[in-house]
Amino acid sequence: MKVPTKNPYEVLGYFGMGGYNDCPLPAEQIAVAKYWYEKHGAVPAVITYDEIEFYVEKPVQTFEEAKKLAVEHYAFCYDIVDQCYGTFEKLADGLYKNIQWYFWWD
């Protein structure tokens, strides 16, 4: 599907996904995605009714960066730790040099 946006992170505003199951509202998703796009080159690649996946052009290159990013991911989607990875350490391990980020709201 082609979405008429100037910036890739704006695509999150076209699907009305969010505002339920503790999933951020589209405006909040766009703000976070813009920050991650500018910092990591993260682009929304998959959007469903309860999932977002990002392709990341500039993945974190140190474990310290991965730990900081894990906190950001948890703030955006606490299910990523609580129901997927289990701990921040495992999430940070999963983010280290990874070009794909996954979020799911149950």
Q: How far apart are CA 39 and CA 37, in angstroms?
A: 6
Closest C-alpha among 35, 16, 15 to residue 75: 35
Lowest model confidence (mean pLDDT) among 29-33, 50-54, 81-85, 93-97: 81-85
Q: How far apart are CA 41 and CA 12, in angstroms?
A: 15
| Mean pLDDT of all residues in 14-33 | 95
Helices (H), the chain: 26-40, 63-76, 79, 88-95
Share of the chain above pLDDT 90, in %: 92
Instruction: Label residue 72 by pLDDT band (50, 70, 90).
Output: very high
The mean of the pLDDT values for the chain is 96
Whether the Cβ atoms of residue 69 and residue 92 lie closer than 8 Å to each other: yes
Predicted pLDDT at 1 = 77
Predicted pLDDT at 2 = 84
- Which residues 6+ apart lie within 8 Å of 75 measured at CB? none
| Mean pLDDT of all residues in 50-64 | 98
pTM for the predicted model, two decimal places = 0.93
Which amino acid does the sequence have at 42? A
Predicted pLDDT at 106 = 85
- Sheet with 42-47, side-by-side order of all strands: 42-47, 51-56, 100-104
